[in-house]
Structure 1
Amino acid sequence: MTTRTGCGCGGACGGACAGRGPTAPEGNLPGQRALRWRVAPHGTALARMREHLAEPAQDLAVRSLATQPAADPTVALLDTWAVVTDVVSFYTERIAQEGFLRTATETASVRQLARTLGYELRPGAAARVELAFAVETAPTAPLMVDVPAGTPVQSVPPPGKLPQTFETTADIVARVAWNAVPGLDRVRQAFPTGTDEVWLDSTAPLVEVDDRLLLVGPAAAGPPRRARPGGADAQWALRRVTAVDVDPPWATGWTRVTLHAPVTFAGGRTLGDVRVLRLTRRLNLFGHNAPRTELLQNEDKRIAFVTSGVPDELWPGWALSELEIDGDVPDLVPGSWLALESGDQVEAFEVTGVSAGGARRFGVANKVTRVDVDDDKRVAGFDRESTLVHAVSEELPTAWMPDPDAVGAPATTLDVLPTDPPLEEDLRVLVVGVTPDDEEVVEAATVVAVQQRSGDSVPAGGAQRLTLDPPLEHQYRAGSVVLHANVADATHGETTEQVLGSGDGAVAFPRFTLRKAPLTYVSTTTNAAGVEAELEVRVEDVAWAQVESLLDAGPTDQVYVVRQSEDGVSTVVFGDGLHGSRLPSGAENVRATYRAGIGAAGIAEAGAVMLPVRRPRGIATITNPAATHDWAPPEDLDGARTNAPQRIRTLDRAVSVADYADFARSYARVGRASAHLVWDGRTRTIVVSVLGVTGDPATTDLLADLQQTLDAAREQRGQRVVLPGEVVPAVAQLGIHVDPRYEVAPVLAAVQATLLTAYAAMDLATSLAASSVLVTAATVEGVESVTMPTLSAPGLADSTADLLVAAPARWDRPSPDADRQLLPAQALHVTALVEVLA
């Protein structure tokens, strides 16, 4: 400040005017958040007036007034005017503050300043959501339902909120066959060496614990059959069931059977086309219950004690030469399989012939089922008394098993079961599934190609191979994938029709206010802002066009502009006959159809958008498998200060690297953005890294819209790629000493809040030093001292305890075993762990 001293009052003012001469604002350096513009506060103004009275040119009587105390009536009058100058000076300073973009504190001021640059504050963007329609499956219900564009569906609000309306953006034809199409979740079942599981393509109770299963390989199905237990040519295995699991996780509709021991076929090979037979009957050989020979009586009624010799010496024909099963077994038929088990000795046979009869031998008599087998030489190794016969085989549905491999990324295709009619190209679909990490994920895509599959690798009904755009980003458990094909995109906002008023040809720039607010803006790729108003204005039933400014409109152009106020109310402004056509005079001849709803009000969790306002006939349910996304709030003061000058720098074009970053930052739904020139080994590429308004990586829809808009505005010879920014979690650990005069809990909460505000959402490619965290924490009231913070971020390649370096866009490997590729810039998301020290 420049100060002129010497009031001439001789100290009678009590020092009130000392050093308080006329001042002028100085020292307003660039980059300041406020101006120094108080040219006449109360003390300064009163000192000036006293100094003026004390000038030598004044009469003595006047000069004497300069020394009078404040209670003097004349000085009191001067004091009153000093108050007036103080008030005027205050408002002069306020007006000066509002005249500069950086120092303005009112949104209206920033809006007017931005308009001088041709920039309108971004109005925000309506939330988007994909709605899945389910068609009624009753026999009398229609097989297809027309769902027109504009179908309204309301959300179920959380406590304290109001329901919001979403409307579909295009007509769709919903079909009952497309309600929920399962993914192809099966492959041919194979039996590798050491497997102890068998999958059944059924949930019926076909197998129980302790049942015997016979696994027969393809080499055992035809001659020669000379299998030996454990031998090199064994192609069958008999196993006991120890567990039966119906509908295991991620394998709904299947049954998993666990065997008591691993299965190994000859040569340790993996076999396909293995038949799995359940042996339903446990039988005995004829003679198993023959009496003991030492208890038999001779003809003299005396007991004969046999202490030596073999049973065959007493019972002729005791040794097995053919299979004689005790009892009548009508279910045993040729072509089936059976197994003989005696201790550790096991042999399996294919039945070639069956005959029923009776036998009276070995001291017993009973019906007998004689069985011819494919290799009767192997029967001789068993005895009648201890051998169990597992027979009457039932083949189990084991041709298929759940696909154990993940489906989805990096493949661009997805296989689903067939539908009638088949899925079509240009169809909007939702893929719902569970990742290998047990996280449920929903992805939206468009079908660009459909291929019908058939053959041995797919079930009898075939399958459909879909090519999706964009490709799936996640991997899924095959049994969890469901594809919703009756999908319509919808945006937040409720349609309203309003008569705006009557035109008057004598009025220049007539203005009409929309009754409902806020006006809905939806995404577009036709302008640099990335959004357009959902508004149609008709004058005498003729639609007029919305333009960004009336400055370039001609006298006959039927156009209008939309202006936003600070409370979100929208106003439609027409021309004056020079810049835009005047309205024709008429009674209520100006009307509008528009939608109301925007920003964070459209946030809805998955499954919350489900209440149809007008349910199309034949639609059973409506839901949103994924949460709403791609919303944006109206631009705030800080955003406008940053983005308004960018319009002048870019002129809606992207030429330099800085232009790409500026263009992306001013695009609707973009929170933070950066651009870097990267050498990819062949050429230089501009990599634009983008984060959404919530700080998360940009969605696929936002990236696609920004890419298309940039392509229309950029230098076409340059290489560019738009990627979602990488958010890297980081932790700052520090200890604080709290001033004993303060309560600990409020100070701790204030430190946490301050650090989160400063570092929770850092710009892309911005590094963080521990000293910066220390200084920020030390500024909190009640903090006496702070220890040096320790920083950690496992996701960063270059980090220490004192410095976290967020990488810019680069050509590198995302993981050590991956190929090099273009990677986006990183943004730190810092959370603080604050410890209160004693």
Structure 2
Amino acid sequence: MTEPPICPCEGFTHPQVIFNPPGRGTIAYRLGDYASFRRVLLLPLQDATANLTESELTNWHPGAEADLAVQMVEWWAYLADILTFYNERVANESYLRTAALPESVQRLIRILGYRPRPGIGASGMVAALVNNSKPFTLPQGFQIQSKPGPGKQPQIFELDVDTLVQVPDAIAAEPVANPALLQGNSVLLQGTVTTVKAQDELLLLRKDWAGSTSGYALLTIQTVDLEKDPRGKVNTRVTFGSAPSWLASQQAEEYRLLKSNQSAHVWQYPSKSKVVLKKWIHLESIARQIKVNDPALLQIPGQIQLMQVIRYTEVIWYANPDAPGLDPSVAPTSVPKQPPIPIPHTLLKYQPKLADEISKEFDNRRKEVLVRYDWQDVGLLIATPMQTLSSATPRIQVAQAIAFPSGQSQLPILLEDTNGDGIFAEISAGSDSTTVQLDSPAPSATLQAPLQMLFNLLTVSRGQTAPAEILGSGDASLAGQEFVLKKSPLTYLLSDDSTSGGNYKSTLRVWVDDIEWQEVPSFYEQPANARIFVTREDENQQSYVQFGDGVNGTRLPSGVNNVVARYRYGSGNEAPDAGSLNVIVKPYPNLKAIRNPASVGGGADPEPPEQIRRYAPQSVLTFGRAVSGDDYETIAAQTPGVSRAKVYWTWDAAQQRSLVKIYVGDDNSAVNAAKIALAGTADPNRPVAVQLAQPLPVQLTLTAQIESTRIPETVMATVKDALLHSDTGLFGTNVVQIGQAIYQSQIYATCMQLPGVLAVHSLQFFLNPGTGFTLDSNYRHDPGEGRFYQISETNLYLNWEVG
């Protein structure tokens, strides 16, 4: 039924035309709603020629109030509204793409034989510190609890295997110092040095200098400052006004820093003889502090020459030689009344030999020549201690030698910095007993010195052991008996054993009549006498244990309370921060403390419905092996700890062959997990590279025009949720895919479909590739290969105005 509208916006059509184009996330399946059903019920029926068929209603008009007929019509309209609403919901819940309820998704994918991944417990390494040198063994199941942050709950982790704990438990370490002589225009002296000040001239001299024309520089002090190294020791930083560029490649251990304590002039009395020669120089007086092999600096304004003394002699010249020869080596005789004035002085022989033009210049300017000697060390030049450890400086200085086990070239450690942060790594012996090499992995984050190496490593995983639990009684007359665990969620851990599902296994162990039965992924092709069981979870993550039916897996034998289980419970993506997993639940003899510098990881929440919709149908096509690109992506994405995956077919120029490159998110644990999953399913003849996807920070600004009858704060809260909700938002953590382009029209559509939003304008999309946010004025925003967009609440700027 269609009525011509008085206003174009008041069109009325009943029943509504149902149209569902492909690719939509919802199905339209309603013929009408309460308003349209009420309206059509109040109109008389017409036949095909528009003649009224309900004459009784022709002359009837609803009353102003308390009209029972109108009330009955509204009852029927209300009933029709409810029925069509649930019809539409049933239709949507009947298809995987449109199902909104988790239980509907679970029911639909059960047809495919697909098991949604349960929650996975995190795992990692902590270190034990001891009270004395006596070794002891920590037992499997030893419990450690986290210190929860605000609004979080403590988590229990347990030791995976019995572990021997011994000394040394920790060794002080620091990054190998920067060996460069200069840091800018400055050098570093050990300790506190008080013998130098600004404007002093100091000599930088190679320790192996032996009279060459290079290997030294005369520098003028600009500032003298004290600075502390990472362990608080005070050293002296001497900064020069300028320094020759060639010093930048020199090392501190090769040089001395010297200060001249004495100086002398060359022969100043009348003389036509040279006083500065290529290999000799006559001083003005005796300078017995000069020793053979000492450096002596010849200096005139604008020029210096450093010489090494190779012979020291004392000679007598005369201050009043005869004219015109003025030979000071000969006593004067031409003036009898003037006695000779003998001047004993030092004659030095040096190397290297001065060039003719240089010796001539010094001799011609003898009144300006200054000879500086008695050079003394002002302090010990040291390499600059590194304040941080990064991938660029993987060598570490240790306080004591590390003993590597026999036949073992590498040693696993936890490396902790002064802030309590750290990494798990492996070390190998360095060039000497006091250095080690950080082999893998290189620190992705900067660690602040001083450092501490921790050796007593404990492999722990999330999950608290429940007391032995009687599941129930076996009944041989029943096929496929099933029991539910009292504690939830059951802890599953990442494992290539895959006894529960793809690359994970449960911590559940079951005994029947004191005989342990084994868990398998499914009953498919299991022998009839196999003592096996399988596990599954419902939509509330309650775990069920099911036994065989006598055809695939044996039935449970009859008995009373003869089915007993032990298991751990607790899982999820949320993991304790680094440094917070250190509370010993029950004290243990000789155990001093637990250190947790590297955060645990690998945990995962139960597989979200959006991911199930995407990969469950594809999993049917993989058959447990990877051939196509979709196969690689599906297997990687289903791996515990992997929140997103994207495959690219690329060309490996080095090997001249195709390469499958898979990006996964969102941490290194995901990369390791994906590698394990693909190792057993990928084509061994095709190279595969698994890399960590990189988030691309986004800043989004927009202004929404809101209906005047709405509460602005409420409307903007729904806009924020539509954009950022982890499971349904346009930029949700579980929604955004690697390499997924975002169109501005999508952002507009997401906001415009919300109740109360009339219009959206002033939309700006900013990208931050690492150098700050810049405006992306395109209508299509492509993150590029191996990257995905990420918006935090602090980078979402929502403005509103009343329409």
Matched, 1:216 2:210: no
C-alpha separation between the residues in 2 aligned to 1:765 and 1:750? 27
C-alpha separation in 2, matches of 1:233 and 1:506: 96
Shift of the alpha carbon at 1:152?
Answer: 1.8
Deviation at 1:511, TM superposition (A): 2.9
Following the alignment from structure 2 to structure 1, what is the Cα–Cα distance between the partners of residues 554 and 235? 75
Residues 44-443 of structure 1 aligned to structure 2 (within 5 Å): 98-136=93-131, 141-142=132-133, 146-177=137-168, 179-180=170-171, 182-186=173-177, 188=179, 190=181, 196-200=185-189, 202-203=190-191, 215-218=204-207, 220=209, 235=216, 237=218, 242-248=223-229, 253=233, 255-262=235-242, 270=250, 274-276=254-256, 320-323=284-287, 393=376, 396-398=379-381, 400-402=383-385, 408=391, 414-417=395-398, 419-422=401-404, 424-425=408-409, 427-431=411-415, 442-443=422-423
Q: Does 1:667 align with 2:639?
A: yes
CA–CA distance in 1 between the matches of 2:515 and 2:595?
37
Q: Which residue does the alignment assign to 2:703?
A: 735
- Which shows bigger deviation, 787-796 or 585-594? 787-796
Alpha-carbon distance between aligned partners in 2 of 1:123 and 1:530, rounded to the nearest angstrom: 12
Q: Distance in 2 between matches of 1:83 and 1:733?
A: 42
| SS at structure 1 position matched to 2:730 | helix
Provide the rounded CA distance (Å) in 1 between the counterparts of 2:144 and 2:776.
51
Note closer, same or farther for the CA distance 1:390–1:718 as it changes in structure 2 (3 Å cut): closer
Deviation at 1:559, TM superposition (A): 0.4
Aligned partners of 1:342 and 1:324: how far apart in 2?
A: 23
The amino acid that maps onto 2:379 is: L
Equivalent residue of 1:504, what SS?
coil
2:660 to 680, 686, 710: 686
- What's the counterpart of residue 10 of structure 1? none
1:520-599 correspondence to structure 2 within 5 Å: 520-527=491-498, 529-599=502-572
The 1-side partners of 2:158 and 2:220 are apart by: 59
Q: Which residue of the other structure, out of 626, 630, 641, is the alignment partner of 2:602?
A: 630
Letter in 2 for 1:774: Y
**Secondary structure, in 3 states, of the residue corresponding to 2:746?**
helix
Cα distance change, pair 526–371 in 1 and its aligned pair in 2 (3 A): farther
Equivalence for 2:624? 652
* CA drift at 1:578: 2.9
Q: Is the 8 A contact 1:118 1:647 kept in 2?
A: no
Q: SS in structure 2 opposite 1:758?
A: coil
SS in 2 for 1:120: coil
Q: Which amino acid aligns with 1:131?
A: V
Which letter does structure 2 place at the counterpart of 1:464? V
Q: What are the superposed Cα offsets for residues 667-686 of structure 1, whole Å, 9 maximum, x if unpaired? A: 22222222232233422222
Deviation at 1:142, TM superposition (A): 0.6
State the distance in 1 between where 2:789 and 2:74 align: 56
Partners of 2:82 and 2:705 lie apart in 1 by 44
Would the alpha carbon gap of residues 780 and 348 (structure 1) be closer, same or farther in structure 2, given more than 3 Å must change?
same
Corresponding position: 1:722 with 2:715? no
**What percent of counterpart residues are identical?**
21
- CA distances 1:487-544 after superposition (whole Å, capped 9, x unpaired): 3332211122313245434352333332221111111223462321111112233221
What amino acid does structure 2 have at the position aligned with 1:421? A
Partner of 2:334: none
User: 1:545 aligns to what SS in structure 2?
Assistant: strand
Q: 1:396 to 1:85 in 2, by over 3 A?
A: closer
2:464 maps to 1:494: yes
- 1:510: which partner in 2? 481
Counterpart of 1:258, as a letter, is V
- TM-score w.r.t. the length of structure 2 is 0.70
Matched residues in 1 for 2:437 and 2:607: separation?
A: 44
Q: Deviation digits for residues 210-254 of structure 1, max 9, x if unmatched?
A: 688654334655xxx6x9xxxx66846476583232325x68657
- Distance (Å, rounded) in 1 between the aligned partners of 2:475 and 2:97: 41
CA deviations on 1:329-351 (whole Å, 9 max, x unpaired) are xxx99999999999999999999
Of 806, 825, 836, 2:786 maps to 825
CA-CA distance at 1:128 after TM superposition: 2.7
**Amino acid paired to 2:761:** T
CA spacing shift, 1:275–1:482, aligned 2, 3 Å: same
Task: Please give the secondary structure, in 2, of the residue aligned with 1:519.
Answer: coil
SS of equivalent residue, structure 2 residue 598:
coil
Q: Does residue 453 of structure 1 match 2:431? A: yes
* Cα 1:550–1:675 shift into 2, 3 Å: same
Query: SS of the counterpart of 1:491?
Result: strand
- Cα distance in 2 for partners of 1:405, 1:92 equals 64
Indicate conservation of the 8 Å contact 1:127/1:629, yes or no: yes
Instruction: State which of 778, 783, 787 in structure 2 corresponds to 1:802.
Output: 778
Structure 1: distance between partners of 2:744 and 2:82: 46
**In the alignment, which residue of structure 1 is the partner of 2:649?**
677
Q: Distance in 2 between matches of 1:741 and 1:85?
A: 29
Rounded Cα–Cα distance in structure 2 between residues aligned with 1:257 and 1:397 = 12
Q: Is the 8 A contact 2:660 2:689 kept in 1?
A: yes
The 8 Å contact of residues 178 and 419 in structure 1, kept in 2 or not, is answered as no
Q: 2:583 is matched with which residue? A: 611
Residue segments in structure 1 that go unaligned for 5+ positions in a row? 4-18, 52-63, 286-308, 311-318, 326-331, 355-369, 455-460, 693-698, 809-823
One of 766, 770, 773 as aligned partner of 2:747: 773
Residue type matched to 1:428 in 2? P
Residue 178 (structure 1) shift: 5.4
Tell me, yes or no, if the aligned pair for 2:29 and 2:87 is still in contact at 8 Å.
Answer: no
Which of 694, 701, 710 does residue 669 from structure 2 map onto?
A: 701
The CA deviation string for residues 437-492 of structure 1, in whole angstroms up to 9 with x for no partner, is: xx997443445xx34524xxxxxx45333533xx4264858966654443333221
* Residue matched to 2:53: none
1:91 & 1:769 partners in 2: Cα distance? 33
| Secondary structure of 1:759's aligned partner | coil
Q: CA deviation at 1:556?
A: 1.0
Instruction: Tell me which of 418, 430, 435 is aligned to 1:463.
Output: 435
Do 1:185 and 1:478's aligned partners in 2 also have CA atoms closer than 8 Å?
Answer: no
Superposed CA RMSD: 5.6
Change (3 A) 1:185 1:475: farther
Q: How much has 1:127 moved relative to structure 2?
A: 2.0
Which ranges in structure 2 are unaligned for 5 or more consecutive residues?
Answer: 2-12, 45-55, 271-282, 313-344, 352-358
Please state how far the C-alpha of 1:631 moved relative to its aligned partner.
2.0
The answer for the alignment partner of 1:14 in structure 2 is none
Q: Distance in 2 between matches of 1:571 and 1:616?
A: 35
State the alpha-carbon separation in 1 of the partners of residues 457 and 646 from structure 2.
Answer: 34
Distance 1:570 1:744, change over 3 A: closer
The count of aligned residue pairs is 695
Secondary structure at the counterpart of residue 509 of structure 2: strand
Can you list the C-alpha shifts for 1:61-81, whole angstroms capped at 9, x where unaligned?
xxx9xxx9999x9xx999999
1:686, 1:721 within 8 Å by CA — same for their partners in 2? yes
Measured at CA, do residues 349 and 333 of structure 1 come closer, stay the same or move farther in structure 2, by a change above 3 Å?
same
Distance 1:269-1:765 versus aligned 2 partners, 3 A rule? closer
TM-score normalised per structure 1: 0.67
Cα 1:146/1:837, change in 2 over 3 Å: same
